[in-house]
Each structure stands twice: as C-alpha cells, then as structure tokens.
C-alpha cells in the first residue's frame, strides 16, 4: 500500500493545482467507520508500543490521535501547525507524481479520506485514512523528518528524467513507506507501510527479511515491487541520514 504515484515517468510539466476534498466529517464516518478505526488502532498499537520508532510514538501523542474515532484533519493540522507547519489535506485518490511531490514541497500531505471496511481489515490495495494519517502523519510532527520530507518533495517535483524519477521513488519507498531505524540497540519500524500493516511489519522484523544498513547508493540501486512482502529493507541509524541523503541528491543534480 503506497501513496507513491509509481506509474508516472518524468515530471517535466508544471504541476496542476491539487483539487482538495473536504472531509465532511459527520457525514462521511458512521458508527461502523469509527469501530473499524478503533479495531485497527488498538491492534497496531499493541505491537507498536514495543516495535514502533520513538519518533512515531511521540508523534502520535503530539498530533492527538484518538483510539475510538477517525481523526478530524482540522484537529490534527492545528497541532501540526505549531510544531512543524505540516498539514494533511484531503484528496480524492492517487495524484500524478508532480502534484504529489509538489504538495510535499509545500508541507502538505495528500490524504485519502475513505476508510477500509470491516471486511478489509488486513489488506487494502490502496491507501486509506488509516494508512495515511495513522501511518504517515505522526512523523510529520518531528522537526527533522518534517524538513526531510519537504526537501525530498522539492527535489522529486523537479525530476527531469525517468532515471531521476525512479531514484526518487526508490528513496521514498525504502524510507517513508518501508523504513526501519535502529533505536536503543533494536530495530524499530517507522515507514507508513509498516506502521499501518501488521503483516508487513511482522515480515520486516522477521527472519524472512534481509535488513541492510541504510546507504543512499544501496537504496538507489535496489528495485522494489509493491505487490508482495518486502524481502530487502534498509535500516537507519538516525533520521539525520535521511536529510543528508536528500542533500547529497541535490548536490548531484547541481
């Protein structure tokens, strides 16, 4: 499950403005939706208190996600505004790559508003608000990650060739979506695909996954496929490495 627009090649055109979708909270979410949110939240937190990055866990508290109801983006954004200036914005579905990355460059995170049904608790092929807000947004409360993601967006939005676009997709995939980090001597998950999915996280921390030290060139040379569990992932020592990786890519482009 990824927000990454994987099928678009080079972004030579200027991004069109994004069409925002209002959350219309009371209309959109019924009791069943809040129940589904609650089940997903409790199931993931039971494990993430032990296996989730401290940056994610701290971010959860800072943005005030509740266990018993779908988050209201206006509440989340009020809390983010004073910390890092990021905002989650409602969109209707996948955005073209140029739009998606341009939003990141403006500290706006395109967010799906729908929530999976009770019948789809364990797997959903597309992002939903649980993946987008529970999985992604807590990290946006962290100043280092917040700056990295903005700078990543600016770089990716300016990709001129298919090779540059592939490089940015790989960096996004192996960090924002499926990143691991070493904290207090243990491997923790921080990528949204791992935060929001029990199966993906269990695979990432289990014996079937080759966990390699993060290096920019190793990531840029590693292809990925979106439709099965990952057998190679990369582990950071600190989030500063992400910021340095983007800086290095800016220097290579100049």
Say which residues have a Cβ less than 8 Å from residue 96's Cβ, sequence separation at least 6: 5, 8, 11, 15, 16
Site membership for Fe ion, residue 128 (CB under 5 A): no
Q: Which of residues 168-207 bind Fe ion (CB under 5 A)?
A: 192
226 vs 248 by CB, closer to Fe ion = 226
Closer residue to Fe ion, CB minimum distance, 96 or 247: 96
Question: How many CB atoms within 10 Å of residue 72?
Answer: 15
Instruction: Give the DSSP H/E element, type plus range, for residue 189.
Output: strand 186-189
**Could you give the angle at which helices 143-157 and 240-253 cross, rounded to 10 degrees?**
20
Provide the minimum distance between the beta carbon of 174 and Fe ion in the complex, in angstroms, as a whole number: 13
SS3 at position 171: helix
Beta carbon nearer to Fe ion, 3 or 164: 3
Q: How many CB atoms lie within 10 A of CB 136?
A: 25
Least distance (Å) from Fe ion to the CB of residue 175? 11
Tell me the closest approach of the beta carbon of residue 251 to Fe ion, in angstroms: 27
Specify the residue, 4 or 245, whose C-beta has the smaller distance to Fe ion.
Answer: 4
Q: Which of 96, 82, 223, 228 is nearest to 163 (CA)?
A: 223
Does residue 3 belong to the site contacting Fe ion (CB under 5 A)? Answer: yes
111 binds Fe ion (CB under 5 A): no
Question: Which lies closer to Fe ion via its Cβ, residue 111 or residue 241?
Answer: 111
> Which residue number is nearest to Fe ion in terms of Cβ?
3
Least distance from Fe ion to the Cβ atom of residue 137, Å: 10
Cα torsion 181, 170, 106, 67: sign: negative
Q: Strand pairing of 186-189 and 180-183?
A: antiparallel
The count of chain residues that interact with Fe ion, using the rule CB under 5 A, is 3
**Shortest distance, CB of residue 119 to Fe ion, whole angstroms?**
22
- Which residues are near Fe ion by CB under 5 A? 2-3, 192
């Amino acid at each position: 499950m990824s927000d990454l627009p994987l099928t678009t090649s080079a972004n030579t055109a200027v991004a069109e403005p994004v069409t925002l979708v209002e959350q219309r909270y009371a209309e959109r979410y019924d009791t069943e939706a809040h129940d589904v949110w609650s089940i997903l939240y409790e199931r993931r937190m039971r494990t993430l208190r032990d296996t989730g990055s401290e940056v994610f866990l701290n971010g959860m508290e800072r943005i005030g996600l509740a266990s018993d109801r779908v988050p209201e983006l206006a509440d989340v954004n009020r809390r983010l505004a004073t910390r890092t200036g990021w905002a989650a914005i409602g969109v209707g579905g996948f955005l073209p790559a140029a739009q998606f990355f341009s939003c990141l460059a403006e500290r706006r995170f395109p967010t799906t508003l729908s929530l999976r049904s009770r019948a789809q608790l364990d797997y959903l092929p597309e992002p939903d608000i649980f993946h987008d807000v529970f999985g992604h947004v807590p990290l946006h409360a962290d100043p280092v990650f917040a700056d990295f993601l903005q700078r990543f967006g600016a770089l990716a939005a300016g990709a001129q060739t298919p090779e540059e676009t592939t490089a940015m997709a790989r960096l996004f995939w192996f960090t924002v979506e499926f990143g691991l980090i070493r904290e207090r001597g243990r491997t923790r998950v921080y990528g949204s695909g791992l935060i929001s999915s029990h199966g993906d996280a269990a695979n990432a921390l289990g014996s079937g996954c080759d966990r390699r030290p993060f290096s920019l060139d190793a990531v840029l040379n590693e292809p990925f496929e979106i439709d099965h569990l990952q057998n190679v992932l990369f582990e950071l020592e600190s989030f500063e490495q992400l910021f340095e990786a983007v800086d290095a890519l800016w220097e290579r482009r100049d």
